Amino acid sequence: MKLAESIKQVTDLRAKGWTYQSIANALGMSKQRAHQIDVLARKREHDSGLWTNGLSVRNIKILKKLNINSRDVAIHAVKVGDIKPFKWANFGYTSYYDLCAWLGVEPGNHSRNSTSNKCPHCGQHL
């Protein structure tokens, strides 16, 4: 069963007052899994109202680390180079390009093939 389908079924049954055990029995999953799916559904509903909705956890953490609280400030940070690949551990090209795409901005001139980019940890050219 797909997660989206499970979320809908679990939330529908919880809305009708079913217990996690009865949901688990009906859907062929454990009581713990029914609870996990319900918690996930509530978290997704909460997150849908946040300005960072749709971003990866890694990108959200970088924005929080930089105290960036709006899309406009994030766009500015990318444009001036405050946010760029490999400036922080675990923030490379994939995260950077995903963030740029989500913000709707062109990535800076941080090419994957550029010889001017160095790893901040070991100093080797990337």
Where are the chain's structural domains? 3-47, 54-126
Evaluate if residue 113 carries a pLDDT over 70: no
Cα–Cα distance measured from residue 2 to residue 87, given in angstroms and rounded to the nearest whole number: 37
Look at 1 and 17; give whichever has higher pLDDT.
Answer: 17
pLDDT value of residue 115: 43
Cα–Cα distance measured from residue 126 to residue 119, given in angstroms and rounded to the nearest whole number: 6
pLDDT digits over 9-48, tens only? 999 999 999 999 999 999 999 999 999 999 999 988 887 8
pLDDT value of residue 21: 97
pLDDT value of residue 126: 53
Q: Which amino acid appears at position 2 of this protein?
A: K
pLDDT value of residue 111: 53
Q: Which amino acid appears at position 108 of this protein?
A: G
Cα–Cα distance measured from residue 59 to residue 53, given in angstroms and rounded to the nearest whole number: 11
State both tokens at 75: 């766009």
Q: Which amino acid appears at position 48 of this protein?
A: S
Assessment of whether the complete model's pTM goes beyond 0.85: no
